[in-house]
A = this chain, B = another copy of it.
């Protein structure tokens, strides 16, 4: 009954076997090997266009270096108030951009409200140096709150960004889960909706350590090789990432794994809906659930071996948690077993 995070899962056998297969012999380091080339071609196929991809080691690196690629002095990234880049990366986005600010935009359940985005952007007047200058809008798909943007919502935000000369970045730590939950294609969900840079996460969904920054606009990638190396994210044996992606992206494995995680979350949601001791804090999709659970029940669940995290209530839901209750996050993964879900739901009843 491990629902702490999808990064508590291990690696899918196909991924590890690919590492084994590619482990022998010599190959050019620093991104120049044959399997690097292969994976680049695979990304082109998946996104139905030529893209520039760069492996990095963590989602935090993918996000932070993406911002560095489009940063300007005094730069500002507009993002949701509860975004991972704003709340959970220990200031790495600010660090790698030398102080760019993550300016919070409000919006229900982890999704930026386009009206608020416009209002916040209007506070920055051109050439008014004191306020700094917006340089990017960043949204997460799936969001930190377990919700999803529709393709149309992404496109609306993209238009706001591009009208003002800002890059649109997508934090796709759970990109596969979002695709699987919406049936949108990778292209529809990203560049066709205006996304310029994608943090493509594979670690949580069956890889060991595989993240990529995907540039749909190659001009924005021009200095990225130096940005990545200076940021200590240029791995020597890039085969170790390429081999993982090679297996992950083959025959739709990635989408099947995400569908599995999403289905497990659906089963969990159903169980919560039937419980008298718990309720969803807000409606979620994909593989994250936020539940208000009676504290006593939560303690009982943990005593029985369930693992899940306390969560800070969102700023815009002050009355969410009543007395004797707590807010908790539950995350399923590609390796969640149905017995885990069933056991949890049974204890919750």
- Residues on A lying within 8 angstroms of B by beta carbon are 2, 4-5, 7-13, 15-17, 19-20, 22-30, 56-61, 64-65, 68, 72-76, 87-102, 104, 123, 127, 129-133, 203-204, 208-209, 223, 225-237, 239-240, 307, 312, 335
Are the CB atoms of B23 and A10 closer together than 8 Å? yes
Please indicate the chain B residues that have their CB under 8 angstroms from the CB of A24 in the complex: 10, 335
User: Is B5 within 8 A of A29, CB to CB?
Assistant: yes
Looking at the assembled complex, report how far the CB atom of A224 sits from the nearest CB atom of chain B, in whole angstroms. 8
- Taking a contact as CB atoms under 8 Å apart, the answer to whether A230 and B95 are in contact is yes
Inter-subunit contact A132/B91 (CB<8 Å):
yes
The winner among A25, A231, A307 for most chain B CB atoms within 10 A is A231
Q: Which among A4, A13, A59, A240 has the highest number of chain B CB atoms within 10 Å? A: A240
Q: Identify the closest chain B residue to A95 (Cβ).
A: B99
Not counting A8-B26, A132-B226, a sample of 13 additional A-B residue pairs whose C-beta atoms are within 8 angstroms of each other reads: A4-B28, A19-B208, A57-B58, A57-B209, A74-B91, A91-B99, A92-B99, A94-B98, A96-B99, A129-B229, A133-B226, A208-B237, A209-B237
- The 8 Å CB contact of A29, one of B8, B225, B232, is B8
- Residues of chain B within 8 A (CB-CB) of A76 are 91
Whether B10 lies near A74 (C-beta < 8 A) is no
| Nearest B residue to A333, CB-CB | B26
Q: Is the CB of A74 within 8 A of B57?
A: no
**Copies assembled:** 4
Smallest CB separation, A23 vs chain B (Å): 4
Residues in B whose Cβ lies below 8 Å from that of A89:
130, 229-230, 232
Q: How far is the CB of A117 from chain B (nearest CB, A)?
A: 14
Provide the residues of chain B in CB contact with A9, threshold 8 Å: 26, 237
CA distance A4 to B197 in the complex (A): 33
| A12 cross-chain contacts in B, Cβ below 8 A | 23
A19 touching B16, Cβ below 8 Å: yes
B8–A230 CB distance below 8 A: no
| Residues of the B chain whose Cβ atoms lie less than 8 Å from the Cβ of A104 | 104
| Bound complex: CA A326 to CA B225 (Å) | 28
Q: Is the CB of B132 within 8 A of A239?
A: no
Contact check, B91 vs A75: say whether CB atoms are below 8 A apart: yes
Which residues from B are CB-within-8-Å of A335?
24-26
Which B residues are in CB contact (< 8 Å) with A239? Answer: 10, 208
Q: CB distance B26 to A234 under 8 Å?
A: no
In the bound complex, what is the Cα–Cα distance between A11 and B88 (angstroms)?
Answer: 33
Cα separation A88 to B57 with both chains bound (whole Å): 20
- Per the bound structure, the CA–CA distance linking A234 and B211 in Å amounts to 13
Of chain B, the residue at the smallest CB distance from A227 is B73
Which of A58, A72, A91 has the most C-beta atoms of chain B within 10 angstroms of its own C-beta? A91
